């Protein structure tokens, strides 16, 4: 495709999105389905106007998916309720750690015994498809921090955390293939890749988020009328937390999500606001107080970053559609997706939530809505850039693209009716 054709294609796609946004809200489908179908039409499955080769463009795709996931993690983090308590976060923690680990194990067994993959490649496949996606799962994410839906909170929080907790298993898979040093008996993997990288990532994120929140509040109270470009502060927090994490070999995805959660928690605490609050906007007054504009960083930067998230979703889902051929839909790939959706995810969720007070309806829906997407593509491109053999890379690309495309379709079609039924059952 020429440059002009690309601009026309993206322009038409953006116009379609703009004109059909209100209509899509009324039908049992998501906007990602529209982007994917357009990718099918203009890609090898349709008119063949373009074909995106993930193997040849793995470096570019790694960068695009990395940025998309970082922005999405920030958006998810600043919508998390404050204060953070173990009671509230227990279920998401178990989903992000226990359920995800179980999913990796089940997929690895399936990949090794059924797909005849080498053990390292089977573990890597499990790590690639196990984490749920914060980019494409917007329909099952919390709308705002005061959203009372336990299902939305659990899935959003899980997606925010397991995009970082999956990284140790990616390194384990690479190590089993001789592409990463695991140490004697796996000691280096346990100490560095699991304990240090996870703990340091969370710690860096908390310190960065608290520091930005405290500094903004301090400057506002010291210098009256001081204004900030909150959009840039939010982007700066993402880049700083992620960059520092990479510098010290910590998991940056965990750092960004933790930074966003800590930022919101700090700003509300310092402002003396509680969870159920309504911050006054410019020109509004509270009884007995002078007019005051409250524009928290986490609030002001959210809308902008959500627009960036949507743009990234459009481009990446279009590329997914343009990467698939008709013969990509092999029984091998479709069967693997069915195993992941109907066996591995539900079993891991129910086992991971054992001993909790999560109602059965929530467990069933959480077991179904394990949306796979941009995060899976990032981990796979990361592995390819770290020397994954071409034959294995092609096989994993084939399986992952089909899983992501089917997830967009089947989860996208079922999400609105399922969520509506869940809410009706809650009221009865």
CA gap 255, 200 in Å, rounded: 8
What integer pLDDT is reported at residue 135 of this predicted model?
63
pLDDT tier at 250 (50, 70, 90 boundaries)?
very high
pLDDT reading at 25 higher than 80: no
Question: 84 in a domain, yes or no?
Answer: yes
Question: 406 in a domain, yes or no?
Answer: yes
pLDDT in tens, 317-344: 999 999 999 999 999 999 999 999 999 9
CA gap 128, 145 in Å, rounded: 29
What integer pLDDT is reported at residue 289 of this predicted model?
42
What integer pLDDT is reported at residue 225 of this predicted model?
61
Range from 356-360, 399-403, 417-421 that averages highest in pLDDT: 399-403
pLDDT in tens, 190-241: 999 999 999 999 999 999 999 999 998 888 777 766 666 778 888 999 999 9
And the tokens for 41?
A: 């039409």
Q: What's 59's domain CATH number?
A: 1.20.1530.20
Contact of 125 with 399, CB cutoff 8 Å: yes
pLDDT reading at 402 higher than 80: yes
What integer pLDDT is reported at residue 136 of this predicted model?
61
R_g (Cα) of the chain, nearest Å: 22
Mean of per-residue pLDDT scores for the chain: 86
pLDDT reading at 33 higher than 70: yes
What integer pLDDT is reported at residue 333 of this predicted model?
96
The set of residues, in sequence order, having a beta carbon less than 8 Å from that of 18 and lying 6+ positions away, is none
What integer pLDDT is reported at residue 281 of this predicted model?
36
What integer pLDDT is reported at residue 284 of this predicted model?
33
Domain count for the chain: 1
Contact of 325 with 398, CB cutoff 8 Å: no
What integer pLDDT is reported at residue 5 of this predicted model?
79
Q: Average pLDDT for residues 266-283, to the nearest whole number?
A: 59
And the tokens for 87?
A: 């009671």
What integer pLDDT is reported at residue 242 of this predicted model?
97
Q: At what angle do helices 390-427 and 360-368 cross, to 10 degrees?
A: 150
What integer pLDDT is reported at residue 299 of this predicted model?
72
What integer pLDDT is reported at residue 251 of this predicted model?
95
CA gap 251, 231 in Å, rounded: 24
pLDDT in tens, 285-295: 333 343 344 45
Q: Average pLDDT for residues 69-92, to the nearest whole number?
A: 88
Q: What percent of the chain stands above pLDDT 70?
A: 88
Domain containing 269: what range?
3-282+292-427
Before 262, cis peptide (omega within 30)? no
pLDDT tier at 246 (50, 70, 90 boundaries)?
very high
CA 169 vs CA 104, 122, 261, 358, 380: distances in Å: 8, 11, 24, 27, 12
What integer pLDDT is reported at residue 362 of this predicted model?
85
Contact of 39 with 321, CB cutoff 8 Å: yes
Question: 311 in a domain, yes or no?
Answer: yes
Three-state secondary structure readout of the chain: CCHHHHHHHHHHHHHHHHHHHHHHCCCCCCHHHHHHHHHHHHCCCCCCCCCCCCCCCHHHHHHHHHHHHHHHHHHHHCCCCCCCCHHHHHHHHHHHHHHHHHHHHHHHHHHHHCCCCCHHHHHHHHHHHCCCCCCCCHHHCCCCCCCCCHHHHHHHHHHHHHHHHCHHHHHHHHHHCCCCCCCHHHHHHHHHHHHHHHHHHHHHHHHHHHHHHHHHHHHHHHCCCCCCCHHHHHHHHHHHHHHHHHHCCCCHHHHHHHHHHHHHHHHHHHHCCCCCCCCCCCCCCCCCCCCCCCCCHHHHHHHHHHHHHHHHHHHHHHHHHCCCCHHHCCHHHHHHHHHHHHHHHHHHHHHHCCCCCCCHHHHHHHHHCCCCCHHHHHHHHHHHHCCCCHHHHHHHHHHHHHHHHHHHHHHHHHHHHHHHHHHHHHHC
What integer pLDDT is reported at residue 147 of this predicted model?
65
Exposed/middle/buried for 113, CB within 10 Å: 0-12, 13-18, 19+? Answer: exposed
Q: What percent of the chain stands above pLDDT 90?
A: 53
Question: 287 in a domain, yes or no?
Answer: no
CA 149 vs CA 17, 156, 331, 357, 362: distances in Å: 27, 11, 37, 15, 10
Q: Average pLDDT for residues 416-424, to the nearest whole number?
A: 71
What integer pLDDT is reported at residue 288 of this predicted model?
39
pLDDT in tens, 136-193: 656 666 666 666 677 888 888 898 898 778 999 999 999 999 999 999 989 999 999 9
Q: Average pLDDT for residues 364-385, to the nearest whole number?
A: 91
CA gap 380, 197 in Å, rounded: 19
Q: Average pLDDT for residues 349-377, to the nearest whole number?
A: 88
Question: 240 in a domain, yes or no?
Answer: yes
């Amino acid at each position: 495709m020429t440059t002009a054709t690309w601009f026309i294609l993206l322009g038409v796609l953006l116009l379609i999105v703009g004109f059909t946004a209100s209509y899509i809200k009324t039908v049992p489908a998501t906007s990602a389905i529209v982007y994917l179908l357009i990718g099918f039409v203009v890609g090898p499955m349709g008119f063949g106007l373009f074909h995106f080769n993930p193997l040849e463009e793995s470096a570019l795709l790694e960068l695009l998916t990395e940025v998309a996931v970082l922005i999405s993690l920030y958006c998810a983090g600043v919508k998390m309720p404050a204060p953070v308590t173990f009671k509230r976060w227990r279920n998401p923690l178990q989903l992000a750690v226990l359920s995800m680990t179980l999913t990796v194990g089940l997929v690895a067994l399936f990949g090794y015994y059924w797909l005849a993959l080498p053990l390292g490649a089977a573990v890597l496949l499990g790590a690639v498809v196990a984490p749920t996606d914060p980019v494409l799962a917007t329909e099952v994410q919390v709308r705002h921090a005061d959203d009372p839906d336990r299902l939305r909170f659990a899935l959003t929080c899980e997606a925010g955390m397991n995009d970082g907790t999956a990284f140790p298993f990616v390194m384990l898979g690479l190590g089993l293939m001789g592409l990463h040093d695991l140490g004697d008996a796996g000691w280096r993997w346990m100490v560095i890749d699991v304990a240090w990288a996870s703990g340091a990532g969370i710690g860096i994120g908390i310190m960065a988020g608290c520091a930005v929140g405290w500094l903004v509040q301090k400057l506002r109270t010291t210098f009256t009328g001081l204004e900030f470009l909150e959009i840039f502060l939010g982007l700066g927090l993402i880049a700083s937390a992620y960059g520092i994490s990479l510098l010290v070999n910590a998991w940056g995805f965990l750092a960004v999500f933790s930074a966003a959660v800590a930022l919101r928690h700090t700003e509300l605490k310092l402002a003396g606001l509680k969870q159920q609050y309504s911050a006054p906007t410019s020109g509004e007054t509270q009884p007995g107080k002078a007019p005051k504009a409250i524009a928290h960083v986490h609030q002001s930067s959210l809308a902008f970053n959500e627009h960036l998230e949507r743009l990234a979703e459009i481009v990446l889902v279009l590329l997914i559609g343009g990467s698939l051929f008709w013969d990509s839909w092999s029984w091998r790939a479709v069967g693997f997706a069915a195993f992941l959706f109907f066996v591995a995810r539900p079993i891991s969720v129910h086992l991971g939530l054992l001993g909790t007070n999560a109602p059965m309806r929530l467990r069933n829906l959480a077991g179904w809505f394990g949306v796979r997407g941009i995060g899976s593509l990032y981990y796979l491109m990361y592995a390819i850039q770290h020397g994954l053999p071409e034959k294995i890379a092609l096989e994993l690309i084939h399986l992952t693209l089909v899983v992501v495309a089917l997830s967009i379709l089947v989860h996208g079609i079922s999400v609105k009716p399922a969520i509506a039924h869940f809410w009706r059952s809650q009221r009865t």
